């Protein structure tokens, strides 16, 4: 049985329990396994290729795909299938049936590339930007075409504020799917709002008047640069304008969701980037979806973040933006919140499973429970290596030598998501997001709220308060004005309102009413005014009347975390201990997911804010389960944890005892570590362009430093083999810690016939007893495809054959790997063995 040990923890599997069944992981249906965006270049797919790639995905633990057609490859034009043509529908139907046969799920984008648009979009239905002409506001075409469009999908970008334009856009889809078998495709997908400069729609003046009670043309000068109007008036008019866009785009999204439902599909929507209330937009879909973009700088030893190799994610490590999608899931009562995952994780062909895990853990602790990789590119079997590719992906494709090594990552994700979909959300606080205050701003026009241009949240009073709540150990969900209006008093233990200049009087009345029903409401500061311009005097008078009520004046708290603690709202100590976490509730206890994102090792008691009489530890890396050392601690409990930097663990608590699971065996070093003495035999097993010659090494080493020049262009798998005698065994040694040191990039380990996997940081494994002499250790290491890509460019091979953008670098410059340094590869070590003995945590 494969076993890994990040925290020097020895686990004995559980005996039969007194409960209904042995302690075990929740079931893992296909939705709990990771899915992947599946690009179809030119839709140049065929049945044999579809089957081969779906079977390959199934084999490494993928649970489903999202088909998105894009531009094609040079030389394959004869294979192109125009989008929604009979040929395309035949291929898609075949793919859907094959996915169903294999037990995989399938989604599709409602279009090609992104955003919505195509050849059937007339000029009147295309996206428009706002302009000021002769003192009046009007719209002119943005001229934007569908980005990365597939054959048959080229054309104008759709007006994202027009339900009528959307209805016309969807007519070809309705016709194409008229006879399509239901219950075959799960969901339609709408990508993030990239309708750039789309700040106008012909219906805007009428919608503006209906929503705000005055004519926007009377204040057209607010949009002049510079404006002759005073700054306060400009900010109010622009706020009303942005709220009108928000309503129109929400209507657009809801119309697309309704169309999806009418045709038997769910709807998956990326709301971010939109000039609207993101919480309402996410909640409008069946599956709200965020995205991760770039890499987060975390102090995990061995996590490489060289400036030339990553785009730094500007979001805080605790992932504030991702919580918008999960909050919408929780507040709206959805069961899944997904994420486009690993977009631009690193430079192309330089992404590793060990770099992926911390980014995925950030999503999990933010409440995301449905990972969709970005992604896999369809490539025909006859395409020369590296096959077809997509420029901004993590190149998770069968041609990547690390493809089969992704099984470990995928099993990890599946176990984690099985736990994160069990039970129910357990966040005590609702944190109001003052959208109205955000958009009442005199600067600019239409404003997009992006996921990686996220200063709108990160630098706001809301973002700063959110960080303070997380640092203090409080679990929260963001909530919008509309969502507050339907909140049940039992839905939370407190509502927190950040400092906001302006708030809708109806929202303030809702907060007052909730407080009167027993829900604690805490204001960082009372609002100063109402947003917008229409009926300003009347609304200001209503606001003054509300603010005069003692109940609201008494709700202001100088220190929100302190005030929440005084109210008895649960606070977890994990944040203060350097752990990221999320808590979910069950009728008989709670589930915690905990990740050590700090540099020091965590070894000690962790106080929990929930009561418990028994607890289990569940390691999502290898599936091990054991009974945790637990002690009661005030109103909660404490569990003993050992977590290395980068390691994650689930704690499942129970309000009653009874499970007879064997105890989780904690261990500690019984002596000093010792290197495994060679010689080591190195043999190249599989890969290309050529297999280098075998070599004998005194100790494990980077294979690119060997004399054979072929090692510097080789991408694939090599075996490091050594026969050794066991080190002297200290007293009370029960197991050994095999530390592989620096692994580039993933390893499969065999020691005396027992197999292990090592794909994530730190590369340490708990192994059993050793023979006195003649122990045989084999470590099969697979490296990145980077060195082989470098070799192609150095030899000027014409391999970048994709259309459109072809292949761009991480910094959106011309891709040229010939300038790369050779990437270290293989088992760099040092490889050591450390004796371990059992540890009984002192209570």
The pLDDT tens digits of the residues spanning 450-475 come to: 998 899 999 999 999 999 999 999 99
**Which DSSP category does 403 fall into?**
T
**182-186, 263-267, 412-416, 746-750: least confident range:** 182-186
pLDDT in tens, 738-762: 999 999 999 999 999 999 999 999 9
Span 622-651, pLDDT tens digits: 999 999 999 987 778 999 999 999 999 999
Per the CB < 8 A criterion, the answer to whether 664 and 5 are in contact is: no
d(C-alpha 800, C-alpha 389), whole Å:
9
Per-residue pLDDT tens digits for 781-792: 999 999 999 999
Query: CA 669: distance to chain centroid?
Result: 36
Q: How far apart are CA 227 and CA 224, in angstroms?
A: 5
Share the mean pLDDT of the chain.
94
Residue 704 backbone class (left: φ over 0; alpha: ψ -120 to 50; beta: rest): alpha
The answer to whether residue 9 scores a pLDDT higher than 60 is: no
**What percent of the chain stands above pLDDT 70?**
97
- Which helix (H) or strand (E) segment is 267 a member of? strand 266-269
pLDDT at 23 (0 to 100):
72
Query: What are 293-340's pLDDT values in tens digits?
Result: 999 999 999 999 888 889 898 899 999 999 999 999 999 999 999 999
Query: 616 pLDDT band (50/70/90 cuts)?
Result: very high
Q: How sure is the predictor about 8, in pLDDT bands with cuts at 50, 70 and 90?
A: very low
Quote the pLDDT of residue 634: 76
Is the model's pLDDT at 605 over the cut of 80? yes
CB atoms within 10 A of CB 328: 29
All domains of the chain, ordered by start, with CATH?
9-25+572-666 (2.60.40.1180), 30-423 (3.20.20.80), 429-566 (3.40.50), 674-784+823-839 (2.60.120.260)
Write the burial class of residue 796 (CB in 10 Å: 0-12 exposed, 13-18 middle, 19+ buried).
Answer: exposed
pLDDT at residue 409 tops 50: yes
Q: pLDDT by residue (tens digit) across 547-561? A: 999 989 999 999 999
Q: Is the pLDDT of residue 795 over 60?
A: yes
Q: Which residues contact 333 (CB under 8 A, 6 or more apart)?
A: none
CA distance 758 to 815: 31
- 191-210 pLDDT, tens digit each: 999 999 999 999 999 999 99
Mean pLDDT of 395-414: 96
Q: How far is 448 from 339, CA to CA, in rounded Å? A: 19
Q: CA-CA distance, 473 to 461, in Å (whole number)?
A: 18
Best CA proximity match to 189, nearest among 111, 241, 246, 264: 111
Instruction: Taking residues 348-357, report their average pLDDT.
Output: 96
pLDDT at 228 over 80: yes
Taking the CB of residue 548, how many other CB atoms lie within 10 A of it?
A: 9
What's the confidence (pLDDT) of residue 22?
Answer: 58
3-state secondary structure of 353: helix
pLDDT at residue 682, as a whole number: 98
Q: Using the predicted structure, report yes or no on whether residue 27 has a pLDDT greater than 90.
A: no
Q: What is the largest CA-CA distance in the chain?
A: 92
Distance of alpha carbon 191 from alpha carbon 338, whole angstroms = 12
Q: Which pTM does this prediction carry?
A: 0.95
Q: What local confidence, expressed as pLDDT, does residue 147 receive?
A: 98
> pLDDT at position 15, please?
27
Tokens representing 641 are 């944890």
Give the per-residue pLDDT at 24.
83
Whether 492 and 570 have beta carbons less than 8 Å apart is answered as no
Residue range 350-372: mean pLDDT, rounded: 97
Nearest alpha carbon to residue 113 among 92, 140, 144, 75: 144
In the block, which residue shows the tokens 């493809």? 403
Per-residue model confidence as pLDDT tens digits over 136-150: 999 999 999 999 999
Measure the CA–CA gap between 367 and 420, rounded to whole angstroms.
8
d(CA 769, CA 733): 9
pLDDT tens-digit map of 814-837: 999 999 999 999 999 999 999 999
pLDDT band of residue 842 (cuts 50, 70, 90) is confident
pLDDT of 438 over the 80 cut: yes
Helices 231-262 and 163-176, packing angle to 10 deg: 20
């Amino acid at each position: 049985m494969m076993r890994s040990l990040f925290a020097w923890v020895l686990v004995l599997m559980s005996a039969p329990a007194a409960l209904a069944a042995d302690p075990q992981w929740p079931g893992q249906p296909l939705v709990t396994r990771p899915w992947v965006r599946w690009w179809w270049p030119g839709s140049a797919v065929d049945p044999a290729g579809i089957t081969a790639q779906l079977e390959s995905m199934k084999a490494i633990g993928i649970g489903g795909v999202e088909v998105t057609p894009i531009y094609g490859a040079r030389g394959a034009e004869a294979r192109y299938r125009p989008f929604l043509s009979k040929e395309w529908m035949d291929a898609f139907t075949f793919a859907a049936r094959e996915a169903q046969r294999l037990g995989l799920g399938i989604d599709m984008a409602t279009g090609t590339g992104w955003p919505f648009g195509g050849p059937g979009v007339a000029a009147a239905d295309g996206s428009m930007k706002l302009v000021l002409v002769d003192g009046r506001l009007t719209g002119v075409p943005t001229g934007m075409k569908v980005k990365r469009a597939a054959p048959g999908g080229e054309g104008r970008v759709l007006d994202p504020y027009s339900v009528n334009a959307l209805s016309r856009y969807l007519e070809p889809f309705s016709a194409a799917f008229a006879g399509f078998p239901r219950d075959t495709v799960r969901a339609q997908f709408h990508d993030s709002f990239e309708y750039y400069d789309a700040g106008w729609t012909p219906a805007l003046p009428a919608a503006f008047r209906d929503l705000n009670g005055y004519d926007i043309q009377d204040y057209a000068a607010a949009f002049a640069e510079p404006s002759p109007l005073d700054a306060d008036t400009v900010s109010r008019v622009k706020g009303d304008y942005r709220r009108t866009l928000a309503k129109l785009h929400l209507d657009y999204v809801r119309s697309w969701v309704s169309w999806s439902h009418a045709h038997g599909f769910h709807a998956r929507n990326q709301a971010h980037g939109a000039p609207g209330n993101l919480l309402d937009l996410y909640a409008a879909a069946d599956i709200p979806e965020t995205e991760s973009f770039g890499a987060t700088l975390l102090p995990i030893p061995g996590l490489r973040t060289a400036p030339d190799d990553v785009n730094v994610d500007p979001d805080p490590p605790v992932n504030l933006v991702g919580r918008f999608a999960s909050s919408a899931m929780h507040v709206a009562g959805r069961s899944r919140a997904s994420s486009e995952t690993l977009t631009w994780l690193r430079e192309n062909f330089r992404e590793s499973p060990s770099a992926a895990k911390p980014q995925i853990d950030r999503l999990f602790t933010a409440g995301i429970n449905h990972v969709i990789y970005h992604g896999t590119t369809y490539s025909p079997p006859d395409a020369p290596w590296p096959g077809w590719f997509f420029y901004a992906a993590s190149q998770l494709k069968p041609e990547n030598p690390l493809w089969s090594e992704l099984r470990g990552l995928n099993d990890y994700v599946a176990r984690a998501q099985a736990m994160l979909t069990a039970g129910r959300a357990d966040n005590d606080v609702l944190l109001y997001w003052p959208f109205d205050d955000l958009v009442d701003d005199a600067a600019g026009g239409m404003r997009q709220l992006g996921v990686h241009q996220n200063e709108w949240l990160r630098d706001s009073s809301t973002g700063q308060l959110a960080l303070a709540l997380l640092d203090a150990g409080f679990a929260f969900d963001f909530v919008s004005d509309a969502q507050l209006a339907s909140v049940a008093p039992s839905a939370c233990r407190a509502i927190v309102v950040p400092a906001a200049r302006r708030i809708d009087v109806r929202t303030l009345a809702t907060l007052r009413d909730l407080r009167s029903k027993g829900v604690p409401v805490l204001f960082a500061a009372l609002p100063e005014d109402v947003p917008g311009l229409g009926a300003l005097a009347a609304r200001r008078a209503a606001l003054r009347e509300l603010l005069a009520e003692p109940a609201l004046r008494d709700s202001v708290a100088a220190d929100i975390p302190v005030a929440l603690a005084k109210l008895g709202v649960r606070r977890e100590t994990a944040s203060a201990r350097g752990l990221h976490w999320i808590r979910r509730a069950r009728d008989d206890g709670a589930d915690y997911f905990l990740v050590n994102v700090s540099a020091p090792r965590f070894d000690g008691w962790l106080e929990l804010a929930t009561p418990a009489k028994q607890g289990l530890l569940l390691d999502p890396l290898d599936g091990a389960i054991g009974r945790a050392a637990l002690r009661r601690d005030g109103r909660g409990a404490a569990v003993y944890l050992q977590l290395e930097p980068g390691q994650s663990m689930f704690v499942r608590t129970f309000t009653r005892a009874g499970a007879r699971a064997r105890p989780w065996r904690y261990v500690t070093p019984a002596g000093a570590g010792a290197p495994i003495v060679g010689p080591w035999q190195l043999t190249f097993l599989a890969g290309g362009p050529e297999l280098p010659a075998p070599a004998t090494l005194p100790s494990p080493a980077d294979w690119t430093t060997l004399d054979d020049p072929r090692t510097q262009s080789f991408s694939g798998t090599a075996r490091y083999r050594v026969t050794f005698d066991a080190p002297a065994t200290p007293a009370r040694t029960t197991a050994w810690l095999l530390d592989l040191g620096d692994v580039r990039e993933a390893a499969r380990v065999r020691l005396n016939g027992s197999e292990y996997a090592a794909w994530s940081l730190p590369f340490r494994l708990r192994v059993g007893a050793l023979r006195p002499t003649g122990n045989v250790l084999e470590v099969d290491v697979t490296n990145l495809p980077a060195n082989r890509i470098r070799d192609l460019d150095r030899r000027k091979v014409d391999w970048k054959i994709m259309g459109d953008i072809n292949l761009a670098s991480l910094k959106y410059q011309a891709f040229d790997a010939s300038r790369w340094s050779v990437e270290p590869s293989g088992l760099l070590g040092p490889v050591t063995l450390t004796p371990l003995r059992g540890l009984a945590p002192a209570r």
